[in-house]
Amino acid sequence: MPDATLGAALRNWSLSNFSAALIVTAFFLAAPVVQAKDDSSITVQPSGAQPSTVGPPDFFTGTARVDARFQGTGGARVSGGTVTFEPGARTAWHTHPLGQTLIVTSGIGLVQQAGHPIQIIRPGDTVWIPPGVKHWHGATRTNGMSHIAIAELLDGSAVQWLEQVSEEDYAKAP
């Protein structure tokens, strides 16, 4: 998928974009969604069955990779994926209309709500970001971090991407 198309899909993060291409992220990024043939069947998506997607520079600073993207079917609004941030990588500021849950699986990361101090997150930590809260998350300067990101769609959208996190703001990390 060309970068311009990927950027547009992520900006809108709509149901139609998820049908053809999906996150993040996330959340959430541009690979086909594997769905059950009908809504009454369980679907198992084997690890590694989907190609990794690199987080586009419009929405990430540094190198971030999105894997294991998923989206519910049959009216389910949940979507998500696993996001891996290399040291120094992070999302741009963004919001989620119905909130977001992050479950840290490895490394050491950071999360910040606009106007609040940066918080350190570690494996096993669960982070709840309320609806509409401007925030970012990513790795520390010296440690990578992976998390599972889960969000729900409202009117076909799960994320609104905003401006990049400045180096000045990122440098305030503990």
pLDDT tens figures, 65-85 = 999 888 887 788 999 999 999
Distance CA 98, CA 76 (A): 13
* pLDDT tens profile 150-166: 999 999 899 999 999 99
Read off the pLDDT of each residue in 14-33 and give the average, rounded to a whole number. 36
Give residue 42's pLDDT band: very low, low, confident or very high (50, 70, 90).
Answer: confident
Strands 160-161 and 60-61: unpaired
Three-state DSSP class for residue 81: strand
Domain residue spans of the chain: 3-170
In which element (H, E) is residue 106 found?
A: strand 100-107
| Superfamily, domain 3-170 | Jelly Rolls (2.60.120.10)
Phi-psi region of 145 (alpha: psi -120 to 50; beta: other; left: phi over 0): beta
pLDDT of the residue at 71: 84
Question: Which tokens is 99 given?
Answer: 């909130």
pTM, two decimals, is: 0.77
